[in-house]
Amino acid sequence: MKTIQGPAIFLAQFVGDQEPFNTLDGMCQWAADLGYKGIQIPTWESSLIDLQKVAESKDFADEYRGKIESFGLQITELSTHLQGQLVALHPAYHQMFDSFAPKELHGNRKGKMEWAAEQVKLGAKASANLGLKAQATFPGALMWHTVYPWPQRPAGLVEDGFKELARLWEPILKVFDEQDVEACFELHAGEDVHDGVTFERFLAATGDHPRVKMLFDPSHFILQHLDYLELIDIYHPYIKAMHVKDAEFIKSGRSGAWGGYQDWIDRPGRFRSIGDGRVDFRGIFSRLSKYDFEGWAVLEWECCIKSPEQGAKEGSQRINEYIIEVTDKAFDDFAGTDADPALNRRILGLDE
């Protein structure tokens, strides 16, 4: 078994205009001071990374990685969540996602999709230059508006949807394969790939592409009432990245899983700071350790009550408590004996 690496932190929710959150150096020092050992980098934040330079220059990538390592930190993964969201972009939603793309592409659905595909490819090349083996991303959505349909979906719609999703991703996955990097899709509401079944369908549509992997985030499964521990049992060979994020679902007589269009704080299902929700992190870390998950435990802070500063401070401490230093011994080794085939045969009654 392998010991999970960490604690680490996803920087996306902390970037801001004020120090220390407006520069890479400032954020690295802040994370290191809180006890983090790794950072997951949102590649759309130009204050944190020049994605094109890291992708195109190994020397620049080495210098960039060296700067981060000088703070006692490692890069866990690059994130292309926002760009991945735009790879498959339904017309009904594309204006809502304008902020994910450069201003010159606002209102241009096709342009945003083409730009996004190239960005995710750059992410794969940058990951390889940085010596990383996994990249965190979203798959996008063409079918989400049909997730709970009325009237019923036309025959073949789902099959055609996953076929098109796979078509959009195949040239991107080719680059991931060339760079020897895993594409870890976060199972998330709003994405066509949001649970185990949809992951299987996407994987099958890509012809079981070897680079299609999973980012495990239990908070999204709490809100779906999905057994996230069994999901690990089923899909552990595909889990190559994780977010440590908490959530809770408090049953209500007024609202349910879709939340009634309410603000997060008023929804029955809501995200919480790590340790404040209902996710069984001890069970998760035990399961992942059992299956030799060798990636990073990356805190993603999203909470409708607690401040990000407190969430980040507590997150480092709590992840350290959850990480299991795996054993290389069995607890009953002291009572064991050396291998003796003759003794084994006598115990089995084979020599009587």
- Specify if 125 maps to a domain: yes
Separation of alpha carbons 247 and 277, rounded Å: 5
Q: Is the dihedral of CA 231, 297, 141, 120 positive or negative?
A: negative
Determine the length of the chain.
352
Looking at the DSSP bridge assignments, the partners of residue 39 are: 9, 75
Q: What is the pLDDT of residues 57-76, one digit of tens each?
A: 999 999 999 999 999 999 99
Separation of alpha carbons 284 and 62, rounded Å: 34
Separation of alpha carbons 111 and 98, rounded Å: 11
Separation of alpha carbons 85 and 221, rounded Å: 19
Whether residue 151 is preceded by a cis peptide bond, meaning omega within 30 degrees of 0, is yes
Separation of alpha carbons 263 and 250, rounded Å: 15
Query: Where in the sequence is the domain holding 255, given as residue range(s)?
Result: 5-347
Specify the pLDDT at position 347. 85
Q: What is the CATH number of the domain that holds 158?
A: 3.20.20.150
**Contact predicate 73/36, CB 8 Å:** yes
- Specify if 352 maps to a domain: no
Separation of alpha carbons 100 and 116, rounded Å: 9
Low-confidence ranges of the chain (pLDDT < 70): 335, 352
* Tokens representing residue 202 in the block: 């996407």
- Specify if 212 maps to a domain: yes
Specify the pLDDT at position 335. 67
Q: Is the dihedral of CA 275, 277, 283, 286 positive or negative?
A: negative
Separation of alpha carbons 241 and 136, rounded Å: 7
Separation of alpha carbons 273 and 250, rounded Å: 16
According to DSSP H, which parts of the chain are helical? 24-33, 51-56, 58-69, 81-87, 109-129, 157-179, 196-205, 219-224, 228-235, 281-290, 308-322, 341-347
- Specify if 190 maps to a domain: yes
- Specify if 264 maps to a domain: yes
**The residue to which tokens 């304008």 are assigned:** 98
**Interhelix angle for 58-69 vs 109-129, to 10°?**
70
The alpha-carbon radius of gyration of the chain (Å, integer) is 22
Number of separate domains in the chain: 1
- Answer whether 0.75 is exceeded by the pTM: yes
**The residue to which tokens 């949102």 are assigned:** 42
